[in-house]
Copies of this chain bind each other. A is one copy, B any other.
Amino acid sequence: MNQDYIKPDNWSIIEEGFYAERVKSSESLFSIGNGAMGQRANFEEHYSGDTFQGSYIAGVYYPDKTRVGWWKNGYPEYFAKVLNAPNWIGINVLINGQQLDLNTCKSVDDFKRELNMKEGWLSRTFKATLPNDVKIKVAVKRFLSLDLDEVGAINYEVTPLNTDAEIIFQPYIDASITNEDTNWDDKFWDATSVNYEGHQAFIEAKTMKTNFHTCTFMESKVCINNKAVFVDQNIENTANYVSFSYAYSVKKGDNYSIQKFGGYTVDRNHNANTLVKAAKHALKKATKKGFFQMLEDQKNAWLNIWEMADITIEGDVKAQQGIRFNIFQLNQTYLGKDSRLNIGPKGFTGEKYGGSTYWDTEAYCIPFYMATKDQKVARALLEYRYNHLEKAIENAEKLGFTNGAALYPMVTMNGEECHNEWEITFEEIHRNGAIAYAIFNYHRFTGDYSYIPEKGLEVLIAIARFWQQRATFSTDKNKYVILGVTGPNEYENNVNNNWYTNYLAKWCIDYAVENIDKIAAEYPEDFTRIINKVRLSDTEIQKWKAVASNMYFPYSEKHHVYLQQDGFIDKELITVENLPKSERPINQKWSWDRILRSPYIKQADTLQGFYFFEDKFTNEELERHFDFYEPFTVHESSLSPCVHSIQAAKLDRMEQAYTFYLRTSRLDLDDYNCEVHEGLHITSMAGTWMSIVEGFGGMRIKDGKLSFMPKIPKQWKGYSFKINFRNHIIKVNVTQEQTYFEMLCGEQLEILFNNKALVLESNVLKAVS
């Protein structure tokens, strides 16, 4: 809705000037999170303008009712909804009895918001003239602690500028919240206790149905000119709300401030009966350190993350800001500390997509986490799916599959499917392939094969079983076909023989068989254990092979391309270029049938296959398919531009690669899809990382070796990134002239540079070109 108002800056997201119409967009863009919780950048003080309140706790969701209108067998009972959690950031500010509300001030000047990504904090400063003509200066800083991840801290300072004034701070916690996306004004939280003691307050609340127990807490202290003062404290409370009042007669020019600590303890980490105790413990640790020491710790914690994850771009501030914003938001969302959690498409920045796990994790996020964190993190993401295997088998059984075939859910919180559009839930089955692919990708990158005999093979077998059963034999084609699917391009539904799906299905079976053979030979004990557990016979494997070896792939002899699906070339093949701008984005302008019969592609579909399996195709083939499909691609999925950027770079089309790079990296900052007010596109941000590292850097794993074929957009002086490859940390720095490799950690390693061997030594900078 509000595009292009973020100031270019290398390390910060900065907004200047107060515009009510930008508030919801900025609330998304300035979101903060620490992996355990996160929140939109809502104001602490009351705001009566248009706002989208959101504070979210990792792993806390609600199963909303789905049963309305027409029902189809096999639909899940509910769809998961990420829940807006009780508000702990609120601080009402009264100046001579007048509520501070930016929506009603006579003027708001020098308004500036900054999200400092380097140090992990959000600040806001402004001057305001209230309706009662008191003029004040306000400075607020807030962060969610990485170290104490149950706690956030706020320092809120007010200085009256034109008069003495009685200022009241009313910090509060409030569990009477609901969701913006609630259909019927449902209540999702049940507050079970409200307690306060000294300057601390606690509300225990549990979610309806899912019974997640939480304690929302706060503790505050006030200062004059940075010195603590004792102030009479008034308390107000209801069954789901507590506020304290700290009134002080502040002299003109004096700085009256409140430091508020707050957050959540949850029963995922504590016994449900000890949440208040745990909250007190967290508050004790936080207040003992104090706001400023915590802020120092925060800077250091982010320094550690950036140390490994940063990507620098020289000579292009917008590009630099974009990639850092992406890396920052990914780390705010998921740090890999808890294998019960995953990466929702909107992270902690909005309600859409229900905060759930999609195939985005396997297809887009795992490469980022593999290369920028310890490999345990990626392994934890694989284990998340292993732990859901039984439920994936149950899910397949609901759809008529047997014998341990698994269909992983399209959207899930706990392993159960929780989405109910039939064309997605039942038919967008390629997701199953991405889960197998992630296992392959993890092994390829980390070299850690142990995961496959330990856990991965069971997943691969269950997935292979699914594909064998899902394919049917066409006597007309004398081939196996896969009918009635939705590919990655969700602008096609219920199509036959989506090339990507068919290709992935065949690959999944082949890969399962390859691993069965390897484990039979090399891990006989694991082999026996698994085969006995899943009761896999040679006869069954032969059935799989029959399908994999005789799969149908739609192909156009006329265009020399694999067809996205049967019948694709019967469409009116008018390219996006020839589509009036006024008709776009088509998902906001066109009815669904019109989208479906159009040739327009939401995100890489055939090209997603070329991305996953690029070794299987020549550059000429890639080019032909890219040139055929990209002109019909509207990139209305956030997951689209990154894949195209990588492929354009591979094809040496650097202008196009650069355009796609900006689109993926600044998708939210520049609000390409006119929806940033709903929240950020977190999972696609990992795609942005890939578009630099794999796209421009040309990073691949070739025969177990790390390989680079760097390219650089002409707009850039240089760029650099680091890769954690099998416990070697390698810094890659690409300039217009040369590429520099430096191994910051690890023993000697042979890599490939432009397909030639290059040996890296510990802490030796190598320049090559």
Contacts from A to B (Cβ < 8 Å): 64-70, 72-74, 79, 183-184, 398-400, 420-423, 426-427, 472-477, 481, 483-484, 493-496, 558, 566-567, 569-573, 587-594, 596-597
Contacts and interface: CB of A to CB of B under 8 A. Distances in A.
B570 A476 contact: yes
A426 B73 contact: no
Q: Which of A68, A495, A558 gathers the greatest number of chain B CB atoms within 10 Å?
A: A68
Contacts of A597: 472, 483-484
Contact of A593 (B67, B474, B484, B566): B484
Contact of A74 (B427, B474, B591): B591
A569 B494 CA distance: 16
Contact of A70 (B400, B421, B472, B495): B421
A67 B570 contact: no
Contacts of A426: 591-593
Given A496-B570, A566-B567, A572-B473, A592 B74 contact: yes
A26 to B, nearest CB: 26
A183 B484 contact: no
A468 to B, nearest CB: 14
Contacts of A65: 68, 183-184
Q: Which of A422, A567, A570 gathers the greatest number of chain B CB atoms within 10 Å?
A: A570
B66 A69 contact: yes
Given A73-B589, A476-B558, 16 more contacts: A68-B68, A69-B420, A72-B592, A73-B591, A73-B592, A399-B591, A400-B594, A422-B593, A426-B591, A427-B593, A473-B572, A474-B571, A475-B569, A477-B570, A496-B567, A566-B567
The 5 closest A-B pairs by CB, nearest first: A74-B591, A426-B593, A484-B597, A483-B597, A474-B570
A494 B596 contact: yes
A719 to B, nearest CB: 39
A65 B184 CA distance: 9
A571 B483 contact: yes
**Number of copies of this kind of chain in the complex:** 2
A169 B495 CA distance: 63
13 contacts: A65-B184, A67-B183, A70-B421, A73-B588, A74-B592, A426-B591, A426-B592, A427-B593, A472-B597, A484-B593, A494-B596, A496-B567, A567-B567
A328 B589 CA distance: 48
Given A69-B79, A593-B422, A571 B184 contact: no
A591 B395 CA distance: 11
Contacts of A588: 73
Nearest to A587: B73
Nearest to A479: B570
A399 B472 CA distance: 35
Nearest to A556: B476
Contacts of A571: 472, 474, 483
A587 B72 CA distance: 8
A645 to B, nearest CB: 29
A356 to B, nearest CB: 13
A69 B81 CA distance: 10
A327 B79 CA distance: 45
A586 B590 CA distance: 33
A494 B496 contact: no
Contact of A590 (B73, B476, B569): B73
Contacts of A473: 572
Contacts of A569: 474-476
Nearest to A568: B476
Contacts of A477: 570
A426 B496 CA distance: 20
Contacts of A483: 567, 570-571, 596-597
B68 A481 contact: no
A481 B400 CA distance: 34
A205 to B, nearest CB: 23
A132 to B, nearest CB: 42
Contacts of A183: 65, 67-68
A64 B69 CA distance: 9
A417 to B, nearest CB: 11
Contacts of A570: 474, 476-477, 481, 483, 496, 566
Contacts of A398: 591
A224 to B, nearest CB: 51
A473 B574 CA distance: 11
Contact of A400 (B67, B68, B591): B591
A570 B480 CA distance: 9
A628 to B, nearest CB: 14
Contacts of A495: 494
A183 B64 CA distance: 13
Nearest to A66: B69
A483 B566 CA distance: 12
Nearest to A400: B594
Contacts of A69: 64, 66, 79, 420-421
A426 B594 CA distance: 9
A183 B65 CA distance: 9
Contacts of A484: 593, 596-597
A50 to B, nearest CB: 20
Contacts of A594: 399-400
Nearest to A567: B496
Given A400-B591, A566-B567, A573 B72 contact: no
Contact of A66 (B66, B68, B558): B68
A79 B594 CA distance: 22
Nearest to A483: B597
A268 to B, nearest CB: 26
Contacts of A592: 72-74, 422, 426
